[in-house]
Amino acid sequence: MELREFVELHDSELTKNSDLARAEFDRRQDKSLRLARRLRPEIIKDIQTLKPHLQLMDDSAFYGSDPDDNRGGERFFALLTPITLKKRVRLVDKLRKYLNEHPDAATDVWWSHAKDLSRFRIVTANLHDLVAVRDLIAALVVRLRSEGQLYLRDTPRDFIWVNQNERHNSSKSIHYLLCDAEGHIVEVQIMTLFQYSWDQIEHWLYEVRRSVGVLHPVHASLDRSYWALSNSLFVLDEYILSLDRRPAKSMPKPLRRDLVRCIWRCTS
């Protein structure tokens, strides 16, 4: 179903039309959810494989290479949050706005612009572990791409070191848009505990402000304050990393080059 057709059916006063849009949304979101449920066990398995390797690196880096020295403990930490689903009304609002700003996209497949029909986050203890998980996801995509199971829907978005986020007050994180062979998208976000905590607060404040529906001069001031707080938390992330005797990564190594070959291409 094309983007304009989907939005018009959803907005139609005829029940049969709106029901068609609702059924189409449910069908596509179900496929996105199924992909998310398949991905999580793969990620957990790879994290469990990666964890001993990282701990060994930590022990040798901090306490020498003596295998009998057990002072290292469990340093690596990564938590997968539950899968969240996009609300249909909220998505249609975004699609309608996008269609108004990009009328040439009217004939696009509508769900190609639904980038977070389902989503989950991977929360790490610090930036060191965040970069490790970022590279783990890249390796997973390359492996499953060769089996025709998983693709990149777009290049990864790094809102920590590379790109500025669309909302200045948003948390600093890395976003992967992953998809199946048909192009159904799952969004995976990677962030530290500090940024995850801030994201929960900021999202609630964003929803409160959005519900008012009227911009106020105080909002600009709040945006600056939120942006400053997000950056301050990033400084704390780097400071904690320095206390842990690992060098703060002001800029991590680039993603592997073969990742670009995993970007999904529409075949229809």
The domain ranges of the chain are 3-262
Please check whether residue 227 is in contact with residue 169, taking contact to mean a CB–CB distance below 8 angstroms.
Answer: yes
Residues above pLDDT 90, as percent of the chain: 24
Q: Which whole number is the average pLDDT over 12-38?
A: 89
Instruction: Name the range with the highest mean pLDDT among 53-62, 139-148, 250-259.
Output: 139-148
> What pLDDT score was predicted for residue 65?
40
Residue 35 confidence class, pLDDT cut points 50, 70, 90: very high
The more confident residue out of 243 and 96 is 96
Confidence tier at 9 by pLDDT (50, 70, 90): confident
Could you give the angle at the alpha carbon of 10 between the alpha carbons of 6 and 12, nearest 5°? 115
The pTM score is 0.77
Mean pLDDT of 213-230: 58
Selection from 52, 261, 48, 50 nearest residue 143 by Cα: 261
Give the separation between CA 43 and CA 190, rounded to whole angstroms.
12
The CA distance from 151 to 140, in Å, is 10
Bridge partners of residue 177, in order along the sequence: 187
Query: Residue 208 and residue 211: Cα distance in Å, rounded?
Result: 5
